[in-house]
Amino acid sequence: MTRTLLTLGHGYCAQALAHRLMPLGWTVMGTTRSAEKAEEIAETGVRPVMWEEITLRAALAEATHVLVSASPRDGEDPSIAVLGDALRERAPALDWVGYLSTTGVYGDHDGGWVDESTPLEPSTERGQLRVMAEREWQSIPGLPLHIFRIAGIYGPGRGPFAKVRRGTARRLIKPGQVFSRIHVEDIAQVLHASIEHPNPGAAYNVCDDDPAPPQDVIALAADLLGVERPPEVPLEEADMSPMARSFYAENKRVSNARIKDELGVGLKYPDYRVGLRALLEAEGD
């Protein structure tokens, strides 16, 4: 049986999942608002779908699986805004729907642990919009929905090495602050495991084993590159955008036990030390 994935927002995580599924015989369709990006998508073997109602509806009618990675904008979920009625009609025929959310939905826990049963109490507008979007998707009757609350993402072309090389990296210090993070290949692994073992209604935290201070990650990146570590800067003295500063308003450790216990996932990159070393080795190759 042909399995066809439609990615609503063909970004970094969706591309990683497509790269994992297509060698297994999957057909993948990825949306874009740009004709130039459509050409780039087509070069990877993914069928591009322009973000227009008529083409989105036609693609949804073909899909057996849907990955939603388009983030809320202007106070609404863009996929539901365009496809709400079609999603309600198509829901019974879909095998799996995944919504990419964020661990920001849990809010601040002063460095304490959270899991999927923790109440959703976001303290940032970004987190509040994600809670809104999660609930909109959950309200579609009969939709085989799975929610993935993803920590800070890194991977090829996305991580601390570029900042260190540019000389723009800083080791911002806020005592006790930690962040959870996850390699993009492990995100794709979790999504694939869920597709093979669907559990509609489930939510999963997607993060590695080691919530860590952000300055430690920058320090290791510099060490691996063989350059001097960037200076430490107290957070209150740092010149930062409101968006960047908002990330430091929340401090928590995120449990990933469910992806291991329920989906049987064994992380390829269980902490940032393994992940950064692997990225640098891959660059050398």
Tell me the average confidence (pLDDT) per consecutive run of 10 residues in the chain, 285 residues long. 94 98 98 96 98 97 97 92 97 98 97 98 94 97 98 93 91 96 98 98 98 97 96 91 87 98 98 97 82
The pTM score is 0.96
Query: Residue 172 falls within a domain, yes or no?
Result: no
Instruction: Specify the pLDDT at position 118.
Output: 98
Query: Residue 236 falls within a domain, yes or no?
Result: no
Instruction: Specify the pLDDT at position 285.
Output: 62
Query: Residue 243 falls within a domain, yes or no?
Result: no
The amino acid at 50: M
Query: Residue 107 falls within a domain, yes or no?
Result: yes
Q: What are phi and psi of 108, to 5 degrees?
A: -90, 135
* 157 token code pair: 């072309």
Instruction: Specify the pLDDT at position 246.
Output: 85
What's the gap between Cα 247 and its chain centre?
16
Query: Residue 151 falls within a domain, yes or no?
Result: yes
Say which CATH number the domain at 187 has: 3.40.50.720
Helix (H, G, I), strand (E, B) or coil at 242: helix
Residue 198 structural domain: 4-155+182-209+254-269
Helix (H, G, I), strand (E, B) or coil at 206: strand
Query: Residue 194 falls within a domain, yes or no?
Result: yes
Query: Residue 278 falls within a domain, yes or no?
Result: no
Count how many domains the chain has. Answer: 1
Query: Residue 239 falls within a domain, yes or no?
Result: no
Q: What distance in Å separates the CA atoms of residue 178 and residue 176, rounded to the nearest whole number?
A: 6
